[in-house]
Structure 1
Amino acid sequence: MKTLVSFFFLLILSNPLSVKNNLHLQKNKYIYFSSNLNSRGRDIVRISADGSGPRVKLTSNNGRGHYPHHNGPKLSPDGTKIAYHSDTDGHDNYSIWVMNIDGSNKRRLTKEEGLYSNWSADGKSIIFSGRRNGTWEILMVPAIGGKEINLTQNYKKKKRPSWGATSTSHPDGKSIIYSYIREKVLYSMNLQTKEIKQISPNGESYTNPSFSKDGKRIAVNRKIDKSYDMITMSPNGNSISLIVKNVISYSAPSWSDSGREILFVGSAKGNQELFKISLDTKKEIQLTNNSNFDAFPTW
């Protein structure tokens, strides 16, 4: 029996497709998000993808005289690590961190300000926003730590965004799409040429874009009148589809690996709750039901 088990184990290891499919199954087994389990701060927690089971807390009180806010978790492309931002140095003094999905091996990547982290397509770098020379920029740093690269060069171009930007990487690694939090305009940047194009219509508000795993669609929060709806669109800004109405604007949608479900944050009985929606049936499932702050889901 041991020989037979070993044979099948070796067969799986020798088949990259089997390994890849197994990783995908594991990646969508859990949801990671920010929650105020501790009333003094926020933690990165984990629950099962169907909302069942206990909340497993992955962060802790490691701030200087305060319980920090651990916010904005993003799961790496291979499903083994989480990038996030924490204000361990002082309230709202954020920097970029990375840890394993079980909460182990926490590492601080930036000495200076860092917010809204996301992964490069190959998982080797973290793309984030921070102020440099007093100006908000989009930057990139190796996921193992190292020298930052300034992608936007706003300071040199005399562009002065009033706040930072959230971003999402195309799976082919050639471009990102981003939106400054207060400006709410979608831009596409070619990572080789650094050419930037606006892809959202003038006069409309778009925030927190998220590429599907195949790179064919973007889920993004769009303001209509006084509320935000979650839509999907093509990477060039065309072919818009309404997915769900009245979402929490500052929390980015998150695609399943199959591309058939999207996580989002909405309101239920006055509380912020996690939901997922099937793009096939348009059926919504509420995953959390409590008075905690729950936001920034990733899987």
Structure 2
Amino acid sequence: MTIRILTGILAFLFYAGCLQAQAPAGVHSYLETIDIATGKRRVVYSEAALLEAPNWSKDGRYLLFNKKGRLYRYWLNDRIVDELPFDSTLQANNDHGFSPDGSQLAISGGISGSHIFTASAEGGPLQQLTAQSPSYWHGWSPDSKTLAFVGLRNGDFDIYTIPAAGGPEKRLTREKGLDDGPDYSPDGRYIYFNSYRSGRMQIWRMAADGRDPEQLTDDRYANWFPHPSPNGRWVVFLSFMEDQRQEHPFGKDVQLRLLDIVTQTVRDLTPVFFGGQGTINVPSWSPDGRKLAFVSYRIP
């Protein structure tokens, strides 16, 4: 067995384990929202189960999350939960999100590895886009024509794009070390992402075609999953208080932090809380850009 093949197998096992958070028995999940201006947090729903990765619907009416391989909606006004009707073989993981007009979903999952699918936001038939696994969706382009994702190819995780209508994937990053969490700026000029290329996980951005990468954070934290606000002014991201190298595990001390794109300054959005994998993997801004959704956890 060659070094490259062995490296690829180990990387796949490591990353697959990260994406299916292994929570201890008895974990309790708190689906929360936070007001960006005031910092006020509100628990809108809680359950004695592992809930992950909320998306805010484009009409603002519900939060989408995954649990045990299925996708669910929490209706904010009615305070009820229902399951989206997808084939039982989907086995969704925590990388999913709405198209810019809210009519479609991109979903990562599958019974043999993780592929990327698109489907109606109301459920129903799935269209598989990626031929290779693992592939994990993270962003829609503003024109709805392109999906950005991270994939393991030739022993390294890099950022790729693929047409939403189907077609060949395009590789955007080639640096050694994990590149992850690609999400488009609302004007489509940039892709924000997190990268370990500097020897610590930090927030970066590049042109939408992969050119001109630039590092945006440089601190002692491990920074993951940048998500630009609808107006493009802010980028929220998840910070682990301790260096996790190239992992983003469940059950760690974390914070949500906010990068001001104009001033290039970072401020803490929340105090430290118990979270990590599943807290804010995917875009979760409210349509008006005033709030965010995320998940915190408790273990009795």
TM-score calculated relative to the size of structure 1: 0.72
Who is 1:6 aligned against?
A: none
Paired with 1:139 and 1:171, the residues of 2 have a C-alpha distance of 18
Q: For structure 2, list consecutive stretches of 5 or more residues without a partner in the other structure.
A: 1-22, 243-251, 286-300
Matched position secondary structure for 1:58: strand
Check whether the contact 2:105–2:120 (CA below 8 A) recurs between aligned residues: yes
2:122 is matched with which residue?
144
Match of 1:283 in 2: 265
Deviation string 1:158-181 (CA, Å, 9 cap, x unpaired) is: x4x3x4513211010111111037
What's the CA shift string for 1:259-286, capped at 9, x where partnerless?
A: 1210011144883101101111112110
Among 7, 20, 31, the alignment partner of 1:44 is 31
In the alignment, residue 285 of structure 1 is paired with which amino acid?
R
Q: What does residue range 214-253 of structure 1 map to in structure 2 within 5 Å? A: 214-246=187-219, 248=222, 251-253=224-226
Contact kept? 1:43, 1:57, Cα under 8 Å: yes
Within a 5 Å distance, the mapping from 1:165-176 to structure 2 comes to 165-176=136-147
**Residue in structure 1 matching 2:105, options 105, 117, 126:** 126
C-alpha distance in structure 2 between counterparts of 1:73 and 1:274, whole Å: 14
Counterpart contact for 1:253–1:262, Cα < 8 Å: yes
Higher relative contact order (CA 8 A, sep 6+): 2
The letter for the 2-side match of 1:290 is V
Identity over aligned pairs, percent: 18
Equivalent residue number for residue 75 of structure 2: 100
Q: 1:198 to 1:60 in 2, by over 3 A?
A: same
Number of equivalent positions: 242
Counterpart-to-counterpart distance in 1, 2:110 and 2:57: 24
Give the Cα–Cα distance (whole angstroms) in 2 for the partners of residues 240 and 273 of structure 1.
25
Computed over aligned residues only, the root mean square deviation of the Cα atoms, in angstroms, reads: 2.7
Q: Aligned letter for 1:48?
A: D
- Structure 1 residues 216, 126: CA separation in 2 closer, same or farther (over 3 Å shift)? same
Larger radius of gyration: 1
Task: Find the residue that maps to 2:102 and give its secondary structure.
Answer: coil
Change (3 A) 1:56 1:196: same
The 1:58/1:266 distance shift into structure 2, 3 A limit, reads: same
- Residue 105 (structure 1) shift: 4.3
Q: Which amino acid aligns with 1:298?
A: S
Question: Residue 143 of structure 2 aligns to which amino acid in structure 1?
Answer: D
1:73 lines up with 2:54 in the alignment:
yes
> By how many angstroms is 1:51 displaced?
5.3
| C-alpha separation in 2, matches of 1:121 and 1:177 | 13
